[in-house]
Amino acid sequence: MKILKAAFTRVVTAAAVTASVMASALAAPEVTPLVSTSWLEQNLGSGEIVILDTRSAISKSGRDDYLKGHIPGAVWSEYPGYWRTERNGVEGVLPSIDKLEAALSEIGVSEDKAVVIVPHGKSSLEFGSAARIYWTFKYLGHEAVTILDGGHEAWVAENRPLETGNVVPEGDMFIAEINQDLLISTDEVASALTSDVILLDGRPQNQFDGKEKHKASTRFGHIPGAVNLDQAQFYDKATNRLKSPDQIASLVPASLTSEDKPIISYCNTGHWAATNWFILSELQGRENVTLYDDSMVGWTRQADLPINGPDTQPAPATN
């Protein structure tokens, strides 16, 4: 497709110039990682954005609530739905590229359209859904993607327009251009244990310490050498938004900002890890952050892989 497009642009005719001007006029609006409700309302009339309403059981919501009222033009996109799957007994991993291309084409996503992800706006856990979808788009090579700051709840609270019923999108053609730097496998993580990579565990402290675990994990604890950074601390429960840039900066350990080492973000199934990835990569501009979607569920299923659990923690210092 790219070769054909390149060949076409070399044909200097009046028709080609006219088509180029029209294409520029219809180009997707520029987006930042987070956009405001006012920005979205101003761009509702654009045919070059796809709005995804991701309300789900995670926030005790879903399709029924979507049908009762949603942002005009928004398509309901169930999470985890087609965004995640189970493979080799490991839940929550990335589906095949073919399946994602088909699903996104069906809801009208194409390379010329910006995607606005609308979380419910209820909790850090639910924001992680939006971050994981956002990461998936970036992995698929689709750069024009953003998250609505405050989500559906902020939109409603500001008395912005809603519509009812189902939106049936006009299909388009989505073709992925994979960014391999954004995803890492279990074997690659295991090989990185002896390198200078920073393993960033986004789970709550009690799971990191091995006092609790995900139901699908076979062992307690964390990957050896990992640093704990609970993603929930970046979320302001009072406003149901991410905290301010200054607050976020104060919460990120100096080791993650002063050093240029590669970072592997993980959690249990790559959900919370997506929020930490979003914070570091998209909001703070770190270019060497990747995501381990197998995470602890995948890691603990391989008995030969090491783990620091309750019985393997280093002894506390005596002085």
> pLDDT (tens digit, 9 = 90+) per residue, 14-67?
333 233 333 334 567 889 999 999 999 999 988 899 999 999 999 999 999 999
Report pLDDT for 79: 95
- Identify whether 33 is preceded by a cis peptide bond (ω within 30 of 0): no
Are 27-157 and 184-300 the same fold in CATH?
Answer: yes
What integer best gives the mean pLDDT of the chain?
89
Q: Provide the CATH number for the domain formed by 27-157 in this structure.
A: 3.40.250.10
> pLDDT (tens digit, 9 = 90+) per residue, 120-145?
999 999 999 999 999 999 999 999 99
Please tell me the distance from the alpha carbon of residue 178 to that of residue 200, in angstroms, as a whole number. Answer: 23
**CA pseudo-torsion sign 64, 214, 118, 238:** positive
From 222, 211, 202, select the one nearest 270 (Cα to Cα).
Answer: 202
> pLDDT (tens digit, 9 = 90+) per residue, 223-281?
999 999 999 999 999 999 999 999 999 999 988 887 789 999 999 999 999 999 999 99
Return the CATH fold of 184-300.
Oxidized Rhodanese; domain 1 (3.40.250)
* pLDDT above 60 for 316: no
- Give the domain ranges of the chain: 27-157, 184-300
> pLDDT (tens digit, 9 = 90+) per residue, 149-168?
999 999 999 999 999 999 99
- State the number of CA atoms in the 13 A half-sphere of 153 facing the CB: 16
Determine the distance from the C-alpha atom of residue 80 to the mean position of all C-alpha atoms in its chain, rounded to a whole number: 12
Please tell me the distance from the alpha carbon of residue 44 to that of residue 38, in angstroms, as a whole number. Answer: 10
Report pLDDT for 309: 84
Helix (H, G, I), strand (E, B) or coil at 258: coil
> pLDDT (tens digit, 9 = 90+) per residue, 83-106?
999 998 899 999 999 999 999 999
Q: Look up the pTM and report it.
A: 0.89
Burial degree of 287 (CB within 10 A; 0-12, 13-18, 19+)? exposed
Helix 2-9 and helix 14-25: axis angle, to 10°?
120
Percent of the residues in the chain that have a pLDDT greater than 70, as a whole number: 89
Report pLDDT for 5: 34
